Amino acid sequence: MTGTGVTNVLDVRKLSKVYGAGDTAVHALCDVDLTVRRGEYVAVIGHSGSGKSTLLNMLGCLDAPTSGRYLLEGLDVADLDERQQAVLRNRQIGFVFQAFNLIPRTTALANVELPLVYAGVGRRRRRERAMAALALVGLQGREDHRPNELSGGQQQRVAVARALVTSPALLLADEPTGNLDSQSTADALGLFDRLHASGRTIVLITHDDEVAERAERVVVVSDGRLSEAPARR
Amino acid sequence: MSVVEIVRFAVRGLVANRLRSLLTMLGIIIGIAAVILLTALGNGASQYIQGQIAGLGANSITVLPRQPPETAGTSGRPLTTGDVQALADPQGAPDVASVSPVVQLSTSVDAGRSRTDAIVVGSTPSYFPGANVQVGTGRAYTDVDVEAGRKVVLLGRTVADDLFGVGSDPVGRDVLVRGVPFDVIGTLAPAGQGQGLANPDENVLAPITAVQGSLTGFGDLSQIVVQARSTEAQAAAESEINSILDRRHGIEDSENRDYQVLSARQLADVLDDTLGAFTLLLAAIAAISLVVGGIGITNIMLVSVTERTREIGIRKALGAPPSAILGQFLVESIILSVVGGVLGVAVGYAGTLVPLGDFRPVVLPSAVVAAVGVSAAIGIFFGAYPARRAARLRPIEALRRE
Ligand SMILES: Nc1ncnc2c1ncn2[C@@H]1O[C@H](COP(=O)(O)OP(=O)(O)OP(=O)(O)O)[C@@H](O)[C@H]1O
Ligand SMILES: [Mg+2]
């Protein structure tokens, strides 16, 4: 499952996604090709409704494409059964949702611990790592707050902590700074920079040019088609 | 992902929705308590009545004359001493232990200044075991008394109380039965309520010869009391009686009989049938409440899973395998039905401790097992169904549900 010999962490070929059928069908993605190398930091930009989240959901094994192939660490995801995909999501991928998706009526700490529970990490160890992840996003002292007791930005940071807690090789984040003020955004970007420096592969969606500038590579999605933005640096 | 973690998630899920969990459990508690309580009521009533019937004398059979229906075209024959002799023949009626001819009259009994009404029963000594009558004080009359036609009596408890005062021992005193003097040689043990056909407390027992000689004349018998060899032999004894009397009375169609055979067993059979129907009715009512309780669990599990489809999506996105999702919801419904079931049994059992009139409800263990089993099965099955569906959703589909 590790496949460390493969240089392309993500390898997407002719990927299409159609929502619905017949007259109401929406072609959210059309024949998208994308490869991401190990340790790359990629920003995805594009207008609202262009298909960014659709793409990221498929990269995170949360949704299945209508057609095309998707290799993660050289493995075709379509060949994996439910349980294997669950293991993949748990061990390889950290996912930050655009809508945070914290579990309601459950403390920040328990939310962050959740992926570790499914990974089979023991209680004490789990707690330590979850506390560390919360500290990393500047939320120490808020462990026992429930999502409805946290601000939007704080919830977003809990979501980031939850994605980081398993130390995944691949971090997929859907507008992780969308709800943050400039200071928190700077903190979060600093965090991503450090993760990138430590060799993690990062794909993040953003509307913010400042955020996109920090990435090594920027891809643009428009009307379901993908194009490479001219290289800078 | 250990079982402990799954159980912890389930408990957390239940605690997070405390009120809903309690209300669901209440449905199961009421259902199970109702099944246990209602079947216990039916069972208790049945045991109580069977106990009462046992008090009637299980081996006792009474033969009474009867007016045959008009279609028979005859007014029927009375019961006679000839019938008694035929029934006492061990060849024709091997299952009969004893046969007692009985003459009865209802009359007044005097003792000095007091007087009361009583039923005077003239018979032979075999009447005492045959009709399940016990002597309280003094002695029973004997075959010698019968042969000699001695005017001796035993007074039922109520009669003795009325004539000589409550709790008195009238042995050795005299009474006048319709003006004829009799010696009191004993009293009968108090029988109390519920002795059914005849209440010996209100009887006066005397040798048949004395009653016939001085009160009724030597005519027909009022009844014949037969004792079967054993409780098991009772049905056989009854059919022997029928065939002997049918032959002697020239009866071809049992519809046209000029006598009837009564026994505690027949009474018990009739009552048992009635009680059986009664218990069945109660069980049906109870089953309905159980089904309602089960539907309660189903409903709540459906709501719970639907409402938390998003949560399921999040868990799946974070790497929960389908088995963990299924396990969590399954354990939730198992906890609900097991805790509800145990509380329901406790409530139902507590309910049976309340005595109702003369009898107590008696818990049927099979009802407990069935009630708990059915509610658990319903809970688990219908809890599993929506959980399975949810566990199979693609994470993103589950996340999109609102
Ligand atoms: N479940 C769905 N059913 C039907 N159409 C959908 C569904 N999800 C997304 N779409 C459509 O697919 C297109 C792409 O949606 P997507 O969520 O990927 O956009 P996005 O680029 O992430 O936009 P934003 O920047 O606003 O988040 C949109 O036109 C949207 O309406
Ligand atoms: Mg989006």
pLDDT band at B1 (very low <50, low <70, confident <90, very high): low
Phi, psi of A47 (to 5 degrees): -65, 160
CA distances (Å), origin A91, targets A110, A193, B319: 18, 21, 8
Distance B373 CA to ligand 2 centre (A): 49
Q: How many CB atoms lie within 10 A of CB A115?
A: 30
Contact criterion met (CB below 8 Å) for A69 and A31: no
pLDDT band at B187 (very low <50, low <70, confident <90, very high): very high
Q: Does A168 map to a domain?
A: yes
Determine, for residues B396 and A62 on separate chains, whether the beta-carbon distance falls below 8 Å.
yes
Q: Residue B371: what pLDDT?
A: 81
Distance B40 CA to ligand 2 centre (A): 63
Q: Residue B194: what pLDDT?
A: 44
With vertex at residue B173, the alpha carbon angle to CA B116 and CA B186, rounded to the nearest 5 degrees, is 85
Q: Does A56 map to a domain?
A: yes
pLDDT in tens, A13-45: 999 999 988 888 999 999 999 999 999 999 999
pLDDT band at A232 (very low <50, low <70, confident <90, very high): low
d(CA A177, CA B174): 116
Q: Residue A37: what pLDDT?
A: 94
pLDDT band at A6 (very low <50, low <70, confident <90, very high): low
Q: Does A120 map to a domain?
A: yes
Closest alpha carbon within chain A to B316: A86
Is the shortest distance between the CB of A50 and ligand 1 below 6 Å? yes
pLDDT in tens, A154-206: 998 999 999 999 999 999 999 998 888 888 888 888 889 999 999 999 999 99
The count of domains in chain A is 1
Nearest alpha carbon, ligand 1 atom 16: A51
**pTM (2 d.p.):** 0.68
Q: Does A118 map to a domain?
A: yes
Q: Residue B196: what pLDDT?
A: 47
Q: Which residues contact A68 (CB under 8 A, 6 or more apart)?
A: A12, A13, A14, A15, A16, A31, A32
Contact criterion met (CB below 8 Å) for B164 and B110: no
CATH, residue A51: 3.40.50.300
For residue A146, the enclosing domain spans 40-64+81-228
The mean-pLDDT minimum among B182-186, B210-214, B325-329 falls in B325-329
Residues of chain A positioned with their CB less than 8 A from the CB of B1 = 117-118, 120
Determine, for residues A62 and B2 on separate chains, whether the beta-carbon distance falls below 8 Å.
no
Q: Does A213 map to a domain?
A: yes
Is the shortest distance between the CB of A170 and ligand 1 below 6 Å? no
Phi, psi of B97 (to 5 degrees): -90, -45
DSSP helix/strand/coil, A34: strand
Determine, for residues B323 and A83 on separate chains, whether the beta-carbon distance falls below 8 Å.
yes
pLDDT in tens, B9-57: 888 888 888 888 888 888 888 888 888 888 888 888 878 877 777 666 6
Q: Does A13 map to a domain?
A: no
In chain B, % of residues over pLDDT 90: 31
Is B219 a residue whose pLDDT tops 60?
Answer: yes
Q: Which residues contact B152 (CB under 8 A, 6 or more apart)?
A: B141, B145, B182, B183, B184, B185, B206, B207, B210
Q: Does A7 map to a domain?
A: no
Q: Does A152 map to a domain?
A: yes
Closest alpha carbon within chain A to B324: A118
The mean-pLDDT minimum among A25-39, A136-150, B49-63, B307-321 falls in B49-63
Identity (one letter) of the amino acid at B80?
T
Nearest alpha carbon, ligand 1 atom 29: A49
Is B89 a residue whose pLDDT tops 70?
Answer: yes
pLDDT in tens, A81-139: 989 999 999 999 999 998 889 998 889 999 999 999 999 999 999 999 999 999 988 89
